[in-house]
Amino acid sequence: MSAEVIPFPQTPEAPQPDLRTALGEVLREERREQERTLADVAESAAVSLPYLSEVERGRKDVSADLLGAIAAALELDVPTVLERTARRLRTSAGVQRGVRMQLLAA
């Protein structure tokens, strides 16, 4: 009697969030924590509301000057925004590695 070998299905690796996505999430999270509207922050940062919305959704790149203006509108400094973004990227990468390890051990 021979045992049938059933191949282990390959699971696609979840894509890591990119810098734009993580940065946008950090900005949106801070804005919501402050209970401010997109319109309010956009006006304070002197940027159009649609553009700020696209930045928050990770669909638009942001220049250093614009990031500075948005951060200032949120009463943050750029290094704080970048630290939070880096933390989010590291956490996401760690979680994904943990999921892969768990799947392999199952």
95, pLDDT greater than 70 = no
- Confidence band, pLDDT 50/70/90 cuts, at residue 73: very high
Total structural domains within the chain: 1
Q: What pLDDT score does 8 carry?
A: 57
In a domain, 69, yes or no: yes
Q: Which of 23-27, 62-66, 89-93 has the lowest mean pLDDT?
A: 89-93
Q: pLDDT of 34-70, one tens digit each? A: 999 999 999 999 999 999 999 999 999 999 999 999 9
Instruction: For residue 51, give the CATH number of its domain.
Output: 1.10.260.40
In a domain, 8, yes or no: no
In sequence order, what are the residues at sequence separation of 6 or more whose Cβ sits closer than 8 angstroms to the Cβ of residue 36?
A: 74
Q: Is the dihedral of CA 93, 99, 103, 105 positive or negative?
A: positive
Going by C-alpha positions, the residue among 96, 104, 103, 62 that lies closest to residue 81 is 62
Domain residue limits at 80:
19-105
In a domain, 2, yes or no: no
In a domain, 50, yes or no: yes
